[in-house]
Amino acid sequence: MIVGYLMDFGLTEKEARVYVTLSRMSSATGSETASATQLSPLQTYRALKGLLNYGLVEMSLERPRRYTPLKIEQAISLLGQEAERKLLDFENKTPLLLKAWTTLGNLGSDRASFTFRIIQGSKNVSKFRLMLYQSAKKDVAAIMKPNELAKMVLDGADDIFQQLSFKNITLRGLSELNRYNVDASKKFLEFITFHHVNHSNLVPFVIIDGKEALCCLSRDGRDGVPENAIWTNHPDLVGIFKEVFETLWASSQDGTARVREIERQFPVKF
């Protein structure tokens, strides 16, 4: 689990294993580290080199070299600084890439390109969906599973909706609003026209500008996080999603009224 967290912070799996091993041993030589991690000497030294580049370990001058890890608090701080540097570098290079890309001309503009794409893994689905929201130019229509609303708030969907609302983009959302997701529902109601439908088995999907759609396939897990999704810009299929959305929207209840109804039924007790 700890190795997985360190990988989320930017380390490779072998770098994370070596860092954890060194932290448990306080200090070790390369061969001792290789033996403890059961990595080959080459893999170990490559991982040590990566950790040295990050500044997460210190190397002694005597031979054989001994490697001492920084404390985890210091390591997290350095990895955070590196992540911020990479993000700034990405932001600086994005306009340069887009400018250079225009020199290639209108690629594929002479032919229709109606495609499908499969996105696998809950993290990838969440990131792709947020990316679609951010790409909207005119309107967003989304159906959300009731037990994933809180997770979407944690992922920052409400912040994205706030940014889109400032751009006067039409935002509509549908979900079953209940006593368990009322707090998350309030977050969405601040920025989008959010309605209640009395249907707990909704298939979540999002339509962007009426031109592309992402249909999320969810497990029946505790937080309902989609495990896989299908994206398409095929006009016939996008049209079907639009028809489904508008049909449900026509029979939906105003979200603010639904929240008041829930709060009357289940008043907060102090």
Instruction: List, for residues 24-69, the tens digit of each pLDDT value.
Output: 999 999 999 999 999 999 999 999 999 999 899 999 888 889 999 9
Domain that includes residue 22, residue range: 2-73
- Structural domains in the chain (count): 2
Contacts 24+ apart (CB under 8 A), 30-36: 30/64, 30/65, 30/67, 31/64, 33/67
Classify residue 90: in a domain, yes or no. Answer: no
Instruction: List, for residues 117-174, the tens digit of each pLDDT value.
Output: 888 888 888 889 999 999 999 999 999 988 888 888 888 898 999 999 999 999 999 9
| Tokens linked to 242 | 């639009």
- Residues 134, 233: one domain? yes
- Residues 129, 46: one domain? no
User: Tell me, what's the pLDDT at 94?
Assistant: 83
Q: At what angle do helices 13-25 and 41-54 cross, to 10 degrees?
A: 80
Instruction: List, for residues 70-107, the tens digit of each pLDDT value.
Output: 999 999 999 888 888 888 888 888 888 888 888 887 66
CATH of the domain at 9: 1.10.10.10
Last residue of a domain, one of 50, 73, 96: 73
Classify residue 95: in a domain, yes or no. Answer: no
Q: What is the mean pLDDT of the chain?
A: 87
